[in-house]
Structure 1
């Protein structure tokens, strides 16, 4: 068993092209023994965004704090604390926070060589 607190996990700026005012904490990953799924904690600050992108893996998301918008390029949905989402593999998706001080959510993904960076795989 592994037990931690999210504030004890290093908060890193997301440096992918087009991402603005967004941080990530890798809460659960192979680094702590997880073999199948990784859990990440994202914070998108006011006026921040993660542009539309896609991956060959699914996402499960739970909104913890603040309000934001999720889009697949065709439909945009406002989400609030308690909202949860399933994003299928290869579906375009993006996030924006135009209104809240912070928009915070958990994101769970399958562990693959491409979905988890080497430092979180324990390589």
Structure 2
């Protein structure tokens, strides 16, 4: 078992996004073999542009209000307590228009192409 706190995990800038950080909370480095847990913070006027992956996402909104899109045109507002399932290969994007921060937990499969090398067990 591993017990940690989000504030003890390094916050890193998301290079392909604007005003967005990520914390890799649970990864193969800790022994997780099936899933990875990440914590995202998108600051006001920040965004993660439309993109897609070969893996699913499970998302839970923790703080702030934000918007998600699956086509780049229609945006859906989400609030704390909202949960989202994004199937593999579905284009998706996120933005924060007016909350101080828009924060969410995102779970993905523990796949080599999805997780940075430094989050794998040595």
TM-score between the two structures when normalised by the length of structure 2? 0.97
The residue number in structure 1 matching 2:77 is 78
The residue number in structure 2 matching 1:31 is 29
The residue number in structure 2 matching 1:42 is 40
Contact 2:31 2:121 in 1 (8 A): no
The residue number in structure 2 matching 1:15 is 15
Contact 2:42 2:103 in 1 (8 A): yes
How far is the alpha carbon of 1:82 from its aligned partner?
A: 0.2
Structure 1: tracts of 5 or more residues without a match: none
- Deviates further, 62-71 or 72-81: 72-81
- Aligned mates of 2:70, 2:21 — CA distance in 1: 21
TM-score between the two structures when normalised by the length of structure 1? 0.96
- Aligned mates of 1:39, 1:3 — CA distance in 2: 13
The residue number in structure 1 matching 2:114 is 115
In the alignment of these two chains, the number of paired residues is: 121
Moved beyond 3 Å, runs of 4+: none
- Aligned mates of 2:70, 2:31 — CA distance in 1: 32
